[in-house]
Amino acid sequence: MTQAPAISAGDTAWVLAASALVLLMTVGLACFYSGLVRSKNSLNTMMMSIVAMGAIGVLWVVIGYSIAFAPGSPWLGGLSWVMFKGVGLDPNPYAPTIPHQAHAVYQAMFAVITPALISGAIVERMRFRAYLGFLVLWSALVYAPLAHWVWGAGGWLQKMGALDFAGGTVVHVSAGVSALVAAWFLGPRRDFRRVPISPHNVPLVLIGAGLLWFGWFGFNAGSALAANGIAALAFVNTNAAAAAAVLTWAVLDSTRTGKITAVGAATGAVVGLVGITPAAGYVTAPAALAIGVLSVFISYFAIQLRSRSRLDDSLDVFSCHGLAGIGGALLTGVFATKLANPGGNNGLFAGNAGQLLVQLYAVLAAVLIAAVGTIVILAIVRATFGTRARIADEMIGLDLSEHGEEAYFGGEAAVGGSALAQSVIVVEDPAPAELERRGKQKR
């Protein structure tokens, strides 16, 4: 009789630590995005990430985890784990050496950061209540079903053999495609292409990128769900891809403009991290370097094309997450090898061309559910709350109009608000008595 594996203190400690690292990524994302926008919208942008920690943290306990991971059909998890019923301290069916709740809380952190990624495409123009409604609906109707398809027991993409070690399709492709659709649905900011729109705090961007890189070790290496060799493999590959991506972006920047920018270096790091995410536990370190380089080429030139279009994907979420995620998912089908991970599959270079086709199916499935789901959800939200901030609110800044606060005392938001208030007074129609008084003065 085979004895069931016992819960491992080391594995449990690593997964709990990795959970905290992934939550820290959301804080890093808040800083990264906030530094890239104008100061009058910096708090609103941060709040778009921070509110996900609360809203999705609750949703995941109530129903999200059950939809994503409970036993059910190939398309959707069942309701047996609603309100964490049956999710206790016994061994986890997905990783038998850690408690079930450890797995649940780890996956909760993925559910938190994924919809927060989308916010970068629609910053500086979406009403906060509308965003909160979108956040909750998208997590329940897009993220949780897709997570079940790829990672859930019996999910149809899992049965097909799709490889997604830490969320290339589930997280980055879905968020990137949804960001593209959301940017198109909302339309551009009122002053898009009319005034210069530059990052207001580049050091904050670098701090955010550093926190993301640091937390990404939990994101990728933690997905081994154990403190073992595969976790070490994913850790090494994560760093290798990010490092290669930073250098590649720097070379491209220097070649194109003659300067190596801080924002470019930060963006390159994130793109490399996105690209390696689906492959982290399935490829060798040299392949990770190649994935980091190739991911940057995909995203860098996509950003150049987007910048010449009318699409206002404010922080280039689709280029950096959607396209790098798609590239990483497909490159997993190229570079994956059982020499790195005997529990995975071989890819194209290891003699299994069919894996690349499976990866393509998974990408297309993620694109479809994200695009259709986002359009439907935004239509519901627009009919319920309205999605766009008023023109006056956009011009003042969403920090003041949505939250009644500003990041910097006497900063751009306050100055902009004062100027707008003065302009409104000027264009208001004077009362008849005032008109008569002015006429007498002129005479």
> CA-CA distance, 317 to 172, in Å (whole number)?
9
Residue type, 258: G
| DSSP bridge pairs for 72 | 77
**Section 337-354 average pLDDT:** 96
In the structure encoding, which two tokens stand for residue 267, read together? 């963006």
Average pLDDT over residues 227-234: 98
Closest-CA residue to 135 (of 394, 387, 346, 431): 387
At residue 3, does pLDDT exceed 80?
no
Confidence of residue 426 (pLDDT cuts 50, 70, 90): very low
* DSSP per position, 277-328: TTTTTTS-HHHHHHHHHHHHHHHHHHHHHHHTSS---TT-HIIIIIIHHHHH
| pLDDT of amino acid 421 | 31
User: Alpha-carbon distance 199 to 414, whole Å?
Assistant: 18
Please check whether residue 280 is in contact with residue 166, taking contact to mean a CB–CB distance below 8 angstroms. Answer: yes
The rounded distance, in Å, linking the Cα atoms of 43 and 179 is 20
Among 7-21, 141-155, 332-346, 409-423, the minimum mean pLDDT is found in 409-423
What's the mean pLDDT in 8-20?
Answer: 97
Yes or no: say if 117 and 317 are a contact pair by the CB < 8 Å rule. Answer: yes
Instruction: Provide mean pLDDT across the span 162-182.
Output: 97
Q: How confident is the model at residue 92 (pLDDT cuts 50, 70, 90)?
A: confident
DSSP state of 125: T
304 pLDDT exceeds 50? yes
pLDDT(348) > 50: yes
- Evaluate if residue 441 carries a pLDDT over 80: no
How far, in Å, are 49, 311, 319 from residue 183 at the CA level? 17, 7, 13
What does the pLDDT average to over 28-56? 97
Take residue 337 and report the two structure tokens written for it: 């090898």
* Helices (H), ranges, 119-227: 128-138, 144-151, 156-160, 174-186, 202-221
Q: What 3-state class would DSSP assign to 227?
A: coil
Q: Determine the length of the chain.
A: 443
- Taking residues 235-255, report their average pLDDT: 97
Q: Which two tokens stand for residue 176?
A: 């990137």
Cβ neighbours of residue 377 under 8 Å, at least 6 residues apart?
134, 137, 138, 141, 142
C-alpha to C-alpha distance for 40 and 412, rounded to whole angstroms: 6
Is pLDDT above 50 for 443? Answer: no
Closest CA to 299 of 267, 260, 256: 267
Of the pLDDT bands very low, low, confident and very high (cuts 50, 70, 90), residue 438 is very low
Res 205 pLDDT > 90: yes
pLDDT number for residue 193: 85
Note every long-range contact of 337-342, with CB atoms under 8 Å and residues 24 or more positions apart, other chains counting: 337/282, 337/283, 337/284, 337/287, 339/284, 340/233, 340/281, 340/282, 340/283, 340/284, 341/230, 341/233, 341/281, 341/282
Residue 422 has pLDDT above 60, yes or no: no
Q: What is the mean pLDDT of residues 330-335?
A: 98
For the entire predicted model, the pTM comes to 0.90
- Supply the CATH classification number for the domain 9-396: 1.10.3430.10
Task: Give the mean pLDDT of 266-281.
Answer: 98
Distance CA 383, CA 132 (A): 14
Tell me the mean pLDDT in the region 51-78. Answer: 97
Judged against a pLDDT cut of 60, whether residue 330 lies above it is answered with: yes
Residue 414, pLDDT above cutoff 80: no
pLDDT at residue 6, rounded to an integer: 87
Averaged over 202-220, what is the pLDDT? 98
Question: Residue 55 corresponds to which tokens in the numbers above?
Answer: 């809203």
Query: Is residue 313 within 8 Å of 121, Cβ to Cβ?
Result: yes
Give the C-alpha separation, 240 to 289, whole Å: 6
Share of the chain above pLDDT 90, in %: 88
Place 195 in a pLDDT band, splitting at 50, 70 and 90: confident
Confidence at residue 123, expressed as pLDDT on a 0 to 100 scale? 96
For range 415-419, the mean pLDDT:
39
440 pLDDT above the threshold of 50: no
Cα atoms in the Cβ-side hemisphere of radius 13 Å centred on 348: 13
For the chain, the domains span: 9-396
Tell whether the model's pLDDT for residue 439 goes beyond 60.
Answer: no
**Mean pLDDT to the nearest integer, 289-295:** 98
Per-residue pLDDT, 410: 64
Asked whether 299 and 271 are in contact (CB, 8 A), the reply is yes
Q: Facing residues of 77 across strands? A: 72
Asked if 284 contacts 331 with a C-beta cutoff of 8 angstroms, the reply is no
pLDDT in tens, 131-155: 999 999 999 999 999 999 999 999 9
Separation CA 305–CA 399 (nearest Å): 30
Query: In the block, which residue shows the tokens 């606060």?
Result: 405
Rounded to an integer, the average pLDDT of 110-135 is 97
Q: Indicate whether 432 pLDDT > 90.
A: no
- Looking at every residue in the chain, the average pLDDT score rounds to 92
Confidence of residue 436 (pLDDT cuts 50, 70, 90): very low
Residue 130 CA to residue 73 CA, distance in Å, equals: 32
